[in-house]
Amino acid sequence: MFTESYTLSFWTYSTQNRRSIYFGDYHTSGDCMNLNFERTIDGKFRYFHNGNPDKIFTTAIIETNKWVLVTVVYDKNQSNLKVYINGKLKETFTHQATLTKPEGFMRIGR
């Protein structure tokens, strides 16, 4: 999982401007995150894989008090990651990180 091309899509409803983890894993040896999809305190979508060097922040804002559809599409062959908000392409990033298999628990929502 997450070592090849993938699509992750989910609905979210945030009532406060605070950090929200939508989906992520945690190494079994501690709280070191290997893969994470989240909303930052300022409403931006954040993604990272394999820790700090591969952080991606969107300029698009995930609004509060509204249902928002977030879709992330990673194309391994094209080495890009696309972020859609409510079905509209908001950002495309070149993402050439070496993808490793996530370890530990996969958590949905926090």
Distance, in Å, from the CA atom of 79 to the CA atom of 67, rounded to the nearest integer, reads 30
* Segment 49-72 mean pLDDT: 79
Task: Name the percent of the chain in helix, strand, coil, to the closest 5.
Answer: 5, 55, 40
pLDDT band at 9 (very low <50, low <70, confident <90, very high): very high
- Res. 97: pLDDT tops 60: no
- Res. 62: pLDDT tops 50: yes
- Res. 11: pLDDT tops 90: yes
- Alpha-carbon distances of 41 from 8, 19, 28, 32, 56, rounded to whole Å: 21, 5, 26, 20, 15
pLDDT the model gives residue 98: 57
Predicted confidence (pLDDT) per residue in 74-85, tens digit: 888 888 889 999
Q: Which residue reads 């605070």 in tokens? A: 18
Entry pTM: 0.78
Distance, in Å, from the CA atom of 2 to the CA atom of 4, rounded to the nearest integer, reads 6
Q: Kindly report the backbone phi and psi dihedral angles of residue 30, in degrees, each rounded to the nearest multiple of 5, phi listed first.
A: 160, -160
Distance, in Å, from the CA atom of 37 to the CA atom of 56, rounded to the nearest integer, reads 10
pLDDT band at 104 (very low <50, low <70, confident <90, very high): low
